[in-house]
Every structure is written in C-alpha cells, then in structure tokens.
C-alpha cells in the first residue's frame, strides 16, 4: 500500500463525483482511491497533488456540509504550492469554472499567489515561489515582526 501524506484535508461536497472531476480538470489532481456505496454514490475518495492529498466525500452529517449548503461559509481554505507557471494554472482553473477572488499577485514573502472558489464555494489558494526575500526584507516591506523557521 502506498504511503499517505502525514497531513491531509477532507472536503464535503453536495455532489462529490462532480467535485472529483472538477478538481482533476481545474487543478490537476489525480484520483487515487474511490469508494462507492451500493447505489453507486461516492462514499469516500482520495486525490493527490504532488506529495499532498485531499479527501472528497458527500455531506455525511449535520456538521459536514458543503459551503453551497451553508450560505457559502468556509471554516478552512486549502492551499496548493506549485513549481510551474502560476498564471497558466490560474487560467486553467478559471477555464474550468473557478471564481477567481484574488488575481495572481506577488506577496511580500516571495510567492506569487491567487485565490479562487470552486463550484460549491470551497476557497483555494495557489502559490508559486518566485523570490526568496530575507526576513529583514520582509519586515522592512511590511512593518511586521517575523520570527520562526522562514
């Protein structure tokens, strides 16, 4: 059995089968596991992107809902770090129907980033590292105090 990432996220969708197809088309995820119930519905799935993964399933309890079922609210967003052309990735997501909520822009920490909503309202951020500013440069650019293993 293949080794799974140490950390993953799980997202609930009203239509998990459509979400699986969309995530492959928009972001380039690969489906690695699909568990179907007796009626052919998606019970569980796992998709990978690089060395990360996301689990996609249906709305299986009152506490596990798609943003589409709760007024578009999110309690988390999912981040994808890429090493290829961010602008092309953004256009791929846009062409697949993503709502781009923040166009690609350079961030003070050296990543070019965009943010989007998928068809059911989950928020995704996607970034490509394009520069490696020092902590001092980041602090000077923002007025923030930055500590840690940056």
3-state secondary structure 46-96: EEEECCEEEEEECCCECCECCHHHCCCCCCCCEEEEECCCHHHHHHHHHHC
CATH topology of domain 1-58: 3.30.720
Does this model's pTM top 0.95? no
Q: Where along the chain do its domains lie?
A: 1-58, 74-142
Contact 102, 113 (CB under 8 A): yes
Asked if domains 1-58 and 74-142 share a fold, the reply is yes
Q: Which CATH class is domain 74-142?
A: alpha beta
pLDDT tens, residue order, the chain (150 aa): 567 788 899 999 999 999 999 999 999 999 999 999 999 999 999 999 999 999 999 998 989 999 999 999 998 999 999 999 999 999 999 999 999 999 999 999 999 999 999 999 999 999 999 999 999 999 999 999 999 765
**Beta carbons within 8 Å of 20's beta carbon, 6+ residues apart:** 31, 34, 42, 45, 47, 56
């Amino acid at each position: 059995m293949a080794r799974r990432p140490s950390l993953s996220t799980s997202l609930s969708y009203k239509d998990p089968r459509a979400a699986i197809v969309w995530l492959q088309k928009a972001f380039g995820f690969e489906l690695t596991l699909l568990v179907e119930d007796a009626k052919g519905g998606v019970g569980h799935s796992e998709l990978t992107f690089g060395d990360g993964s996301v689990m996609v399933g249906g709305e299986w309890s009152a506490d596990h809902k798609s943003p589409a079922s709760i007024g578009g609210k999110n309690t988390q967003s999912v981040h994808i770090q890429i090493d290829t052309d961010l602008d092309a990735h953004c256009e791929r997501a846009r062409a697949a129907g993503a709502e781009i909520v923040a166009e690609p822009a350079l961030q003070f920490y050296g990543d070019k980033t965009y943010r989007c909503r998928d068809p059911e309202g989950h928020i995704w951020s996607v970034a490509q590292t394009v520069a490696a500013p020092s902590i001092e440069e980041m602090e000077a650019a923002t007025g923030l105090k930055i500590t840690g293993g940056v």
